[in-house]
Amino acid sequence: MPCSTMRRHLGNLVEAGVILRRDSPNGKRYQRKFGGVAQAFGFDLSPCPTCSRAFSPLLIAFVPKPQRSPPCG
């Protein structure tokens, strides 16, 4: 998948509130620890549990129904 496509899809997820983007001042993704507190830059997945409850009814519609096979004979 091209980088531009990945950026577009990630931007759509950020816009929908599924993930959050934590940008560092220099645009890199890393973690810093100050004592016992960690500050991480990159993508934050903490909104996912909340969004999963909202997406559950939509996902059920996409689950394929089992198909009955024709009788042998």
More confident residue, 50 or 5: 5
Q: pLDDT tens across 15-55, in order?
A: 888 888 887 777 777 677 777 767 777 788 787 777 777 77
Rg (CA), the chain: 20
* DSSP strand pairing (37-40 vs 42-44): unpaired
pTM above 0.95, yes or no: no
pLDDT of residue 73: 57
pLDDT of residue 37: 66
pLDDT of residue 48: 77
Q: How many Å apart are CA 40 and CA 4, to the nearest integer? A: 24
* pLDDT average, residue stretch 62-71: 72
